[in-house]
Amino acid sequence: MMKLRAMRVRNPLVRECMAEFLGTFVLLLFGCAAAAQVKTSNETKGQFLSVNMAFSVGVMSAMYLTKGISGAHLNPAVTLSFCVLEKVSWSRLVPYCLSQLVGAFVASGVVYLVYYDAIMNFSGGVLTVYGRNETASIFATYPSDFLSLGRSFLDQVVGTSMLLLCILGLEEKRNTPAPSELVPVIVAGIVLGISMSMSANCGAAINPARDLGPRLFTLAAGWGTEVFTCYNYWFWVPLVAPLVGGIFGSFMYLFFIDWQLPDPDHHERISTSEKLAKEQPAATWEKGDELKVAHL
């Protein structure tokens, strides 16, 4: 056991980056594999909801795996927002984001290997972004044909802002904190809610690494530069908009919730007063009993 313990990485930042890599890898492996299964089977082995649920299970599993090491950001928008809120050091921003990006890229490669035969059979060996037999959307997100760049940008800003708004209060002791062991389940539920309600327009990436990592893989694996040039160079939207949305959602949380909650000292005084108030009747009752016994 001591020999195995010697394998422990001593540099904290390296350990955290390893966790972010693995967590994002697990998240994308679940999600993209589900997308491949649904797409290549013509929805006979799963439907749109299957992909949403698989990504949510991926979030939950990744958080249980890595939360104790890095906090399980799994998303550059989350890391950036936490840096802005001073929950994480700015020195972690670039290493975390690169680790998440590489994790997403490698997961896409594994999904491609696992589903290679199915992808080739479905596409007829032609890897393309457009058409009925396109397979690029197994990996990265793409907009609906009718969607404008401006509206798709808004879509991603709103989706990511809801993600940050809803997760920031989960461990707030002045409000209604979630049990620590249930936080991954609740975050998975939030992701599922967002993907079920806001993924019709352009896939609800809400995560730059989740989109850019697979997009880079498809560029290298044979889909070509079209994965970046298609839909009027749409690729930058799921890269930039989630970062904006994450910061916007964080400030929504600060303005509407965090700054309106009682100060920690005030909250502690209230809790102490309530505790004394609950104990006081019992003390009076005990005193009354003693007097009654004495009288008798």
Domain boundaries, the chain: 8-286
- According to the model, what pLDDT value does residue 6 have? 73
For 155-180, how does the pLDDT look when each residue is reduced to its tens digit (9 = 90+)? 999 999 999 999 999 999 999 999 99
Token pair of 292 as six digits: 């009654």
For 85-140, how does the pLDDT look when each residue is reduced to its tens digit (9 = 90+)? 999 999 999 999 999 999 999 999 999 999 999 999 999 999 999 999 999 999 99
Cα(121)–Cα(23) distance, integer angstroms: 31
Q: In sequence order, which residues have a C-beta less than 8 Å from that of residue 58 and are 6 or more positions away? A: 26, 27, 28, 29, 30, 31
Task: Judge residue 158's burial from the number of C-beta atoms within 10 Å of its C-beta, 0-12 exposed, 13-18 middle, 19 or more buried.
Answer: middle
- According to the model, what pLDDT value does residue 267 have? 52
Cα(160)–Cα(183) distance, integer angstroms: 18
Task: Give the CA distances from residue 43 to residues 5, 46, 50, 58, 117, in Å, rounded to whole numbers and listed in that order.
Answer: 46, 5, 10, 20, 17
Domain topology for 8-286: Glycerol uptake facilitator protein (1.20.1080)
Cα(167)–Cα(184) distance, integer angstroms: 10
What is the pTM assigned to this prediction?
Answer: 0.89
3-state secondary structure 82-100: HHHCCCCCHHHHHHHHHHH
Token pair of 105 as six digits: 């890229």
For 220-274, how does the pLDDT look when each residue is reduced to its tens digit (9 = 90+)? 999 999 999 999 999 999 999 999 999 999 999 999 999 999 987 765 555 555 5
Q: pLDDT-derived band of residue 290, with 50, 70 and 90 as boundaries?
A: very low
